Amino acid sequence: MSRYEVRIGGFGGQGVVTMAVVAGETASLYDKKYVVQTQSYGPEARGGASKSEIVISDEEIDFPKVQTPDVFVVLSRAAFLAYIDGLKDDGILIIDEDLVKIESEIPDTVKVYKIPATRIADKEVGSKQATNVVMLGAFAVITKVLSLEGLKARIEEKWPRFLKSNILALELGMKAGEEALAKAA
């Protein structure tokens, strides 16, 4: 992997920045990659479209901004509309299928993976706040850019108080990612 660009979008309060930070920390601390993470959100913050981006590389990163994402993980329709531009023609789009509807706004060559992340977090984990961890699990399985062991270890270290629910969310997200990959094959 020379340079892998990730964009994560949603609305403020969904944990978009947290997702990017945890993914970046996993890539850096466990997978020994170089990582740069940036974020931006609209003036309304909570509830408005926000994005966080990560560049992951085997080599030192000379330019920290994501220009043409290899993957876009999106948790809201507003973020989809605001940040879809630039996704590589052969890129990967991972959406929360309950919150993001896609018509014909993307090239046919983009691989789309639909994850019922909010539904899984709400019904199976018992908290919609776990949606971002569900999506992290799906992201890791679909892209194979993070080690699953490293991601699990990072989550265990970061949230010891909520360990049981976050590991459940991660595992359910990984399962949903595997199911989405199987459907796409």
3-state secondary structure of 34: strand
Q: Which helix (H) or strand (E) covers residue 148, if one does?
A: helix 148-158
| CATH code (residue 98) | 3.40.920.10
Read off φ and ψ for residue 49, nearest 5 degrees.
-65, 135
What's the pLDDT tens digit per position in 70-123?
999 999 998 998 899 899 999 999 999 999 988 667 888 999 999 999 999 999
Phi-psi region of 15 (alpha: psi -120 to 50; beta: other; left: phi over 0): left
Structural domains in the chain (count): 1
Neighbours of 2 (CB within 10 A): 6
Residue 39's pLDDT band (cuts 50, 70, 90): confident
Asked whether residue 44 carries a pLDDT value surpassing 60, the answer given is no
The pLDDT score that the predictor gives to residue 45 is 52
Instruction: Print the domain residue range for 129.
Output: 4-184
Least confident residue range of 17-21, 39-43, 119-123: 39-43
The candidate with the shortest Cα–Cα distance to 135, out of 83, 165, 95, 102, is 95
The pLDDT score that the predictor gives to residue 63 is 92
